[in-house]
Amino acid sequence: MFYRENGQFKTTYRADLQIFPILQDRIAIGLILAAAFVLVPMLSSEYMLKAILIPFLILALAAIGVNILVGYCGQISLGSGAFMSVGAYAAYNVYVRLPGVPLVLTLLLGGFFAALVGILFGIPSLRVRGLYLAVATLAAQFVCDWAFLRIGWFTNNSTSGSVSVSNLQMFGLTIETPLQKYLFCLTFLVVFALLAKNLVRSAVGREWMAIRDMDVAAAVIGIRPMYAKLSAFAVSSFVIGVAGALWGFVNLGSWEPAAFSVDRSFQLLFMVIIGGMGSIMGSFLGAAFIVVLPIVLNLALPLIGQLVGVEISTAGIEHTQVMIFGALIVWFLIVEPHGLAKLWSMAKQKLRTWPFPH
């Protein structure tokens, strides 16, 4: 009764093409955006902004990029961490070698160079698929790690591969405090999420999904697999590269290649699998699960230990947190393999028919 599109007639072509065609969705998105831009900054401490919300926003953006490639086009990639590092180091080189370039353009150029690298390592997708493609993209991780550690030009001749940026400004305004960084990252995330949501509904997005479902049948009906796969790699790597640039510039400030290790690639892939493949909202839910749950466990475990009269050491909390986190991932994938987005879809379906389910 509360979530029903009955009676919402679309009288124009423009109305039929809206990203959120149902009124309840538009209201919900508006409320969420208002809360994110107004309510969260008012209620959040600097610690929460810096330790939880900023990493969540950037990783959610990277998860959207991974979801475009893995969820919508069906191409498994383990090179996401490498594409993030390319975005971060490319943006750094633009920042130090081309002074005066606006910060937003610097970050976008980082994504552009990550897209070029993504296309290069996406070429094997034209011949192999599945686990073989995953291994092929994993090579990007090792190549980028080696390049940023051994080729001094990428790091402005830093022997350790460590680089740093400071005094970030946009339109004359400094981006230094956690609140300013949060709003900066939130703006990026909202813009890219809306663009991605619109893109996957377009002809390009339908080509990606046709390739994902059956590439042979897609080729028979006139879809070019090479164009579809490489465009998915390009768009995905661009978004991931921008996220990597944000991770280095805004979240870390100074970083080295280890900040974008293969663990980061697996983390992003887990976000997509847990959140829901082929769903933009799933990227947000998966990022929240991966980022927030360890922090909740870290806070809850000492309290549980006090309730049962057991004192848990710091190392014990850390080990228990890892074990519970891994067990929850396995349990969740068994119970709901389609991810958190599927649960949200089922909830909306029940709201459509409530209180008369039949």
Q: How many CB atoms lie within 10 A of CB 307?
A: 8
Please provide the average confidence, as pLDDT, over all residues in the chain: 87
Report pTM.
Answer: 0.90
Q: Are 24 and 153 in contact (CB under 8 A)?
A: no
If one compares 238 and 296, the residue with the highest pLDDT of the two is 238
Long-range contacts of residues 197-202, Cβ cutoff 8 Å, at least 24 apart? 197/19, 197/280, 198/19, 199/68, 199/235, 200/68, 200/72, 200/280, 201/19
Q: Are 233 and 269 in contact (CB under 8 A)?
A: no
pLDDT given for residue 357 in this prediction: 66
pLDDT in tens, 313-341: 777 777 777 787 778 778 777 877 778 88
pLDDT category, 278, cuts 50, 70, 90?
A: confident
pLDDT in tens, 186-231: 999 999 999 999 999 999 999 999 999 988 899 999 999 899 999 9
pLDDT category, 1, cuts 50, 70, 90?
A: low
Give the HSE-up count for residue 248: Cα atoms under 13 Å, Cβ half-sphere.
34
Closest CA to 294 of 256, 265, 267: 267
Q: Are 105 and 169 in contact (CB under 8 A)?
A: no
Q: How many CB atoms lie within 10 A of CB 186?
A: 18
Residue 356 pLDDT more than 80? no
pLDDT given for residue 89 in this prediction: 94
pLDDT given for residue 67 in this prediction: 93
